[in-house]
Amino acid sequence: MLSAISLAVIPARGGSRRIPRKNIVDFRGRPLIAWTIEAARESGCFADVLVSTDDAEIAEIARSCGAAAPFLRRNNSDDQAPSSLATIEALAQYADWSGGMPAVVAQLLPTCPLRGASLVRDAFADFAAHDADFLLSCTDFGPLNPWWAATLDADGCPRPLFPEAMTKRSQDLPPVFMPSGAIWLARVPALLAARSFYGPGHRYWPMDWLAGFDIDTPEDLAIARALATRG
């Protein structure tokens, strides 16, 4: 493992439109962010677990959960800023604070609380075993079938996105995947050059859709709470 030169960054801005104070909302009796901090710390993959935030309260909660939050984010704190840029800024601030730049960085979104330490270890091991500079966790679509997706016109008439798939059984269609923000990994020089985790040659790493579930809306939060209760 590369733990001595690896950093976990948890980007957690204070603002949230659909769920106020989303990153510290109660989730199973703890602030939402606590579950991601715990997964990162217990994985044993990182020299430091850093929470990048523009919010003093979130920073204090992060420290109480065992993460480092020695500074507040200066930029890239609105809902238009890509998380990759927040992590890149965190790397620069971390280098100023610690005196060195890590070789590998993981970006772990706090809105994926069902991903545990063992999955972080598995993703990190897969990343270390390959020559790619970027690894992004992905999931299938769970009970949904994206092959049957359609748009609707003003009269409610469907226009299939994949017409050739509409007459096929779901079990005869190939699996498709979408990125999940649960675990993204990059070699730092490559990330700084590409300015995105979607850099040249990036790889997807499939994980169970339940573990990669991302909370964005109040409905998502209710679903995640129900999923967590069911184990």
Angstrom CA distances, 126 to 112, 122, 123, 185, 209, stand at: 20, 6, 5, 10, 18
User: What pLDDT, in 10s, does the model give residues 159-216?
Assistant: 999 999 999 999 999 999 999 999 999 999 999 999 999 999 999 999 999 999 999 9
CA-closest candidate to residue 79, choices 10, 8, 18, 9: 18
Q: Rounded distance, CA 114 to CA 35, Å?
A: 8
**Per-residue confidence (pLDDT) for residue 79, from 0 to 100:** 64
CATH topology of domain 3-140+177-225: Spore Coat Polysaccharide Biosynthesis Protein SpsA; Chain A (3.90.550)
Predicted TM-score of the model (pTM): 0.93
- Give kind and range of the element (H or E) at residue 180: strand 178-187
Residue 124: CB partners within 8 Å, gap ≥ 6?
1, 2, 6, 43, 45, 106, 185
- Domain map of the chain by residue range? 3-140+177-225
**Per-residue confidence (pLDDT) for residue 189, from 0 to 100:** 97
Residue 142: CB partners within 8 Å, gap ≥ 6?
209, 210
Position of tokens 């199973």? 28
Angstrom CA distances, 168 to 78, 148, 171, 174, stand at: 43, 9, 8, 11
Angstrom CA distances, 155 to 48, 151, 159, 210, stand at: 55, 11, 11, 35
User: What pLDDT, in 10s, does the model give residues 73-122?
Assistant: 987 555 667 899 999 999 999 999 999 999 999 999 999 999 999 999 99
End-to-end CA distance of the chain: 29
Q: Confidence band (pLDDT; 50, 70, 90) for 16?
A: confident
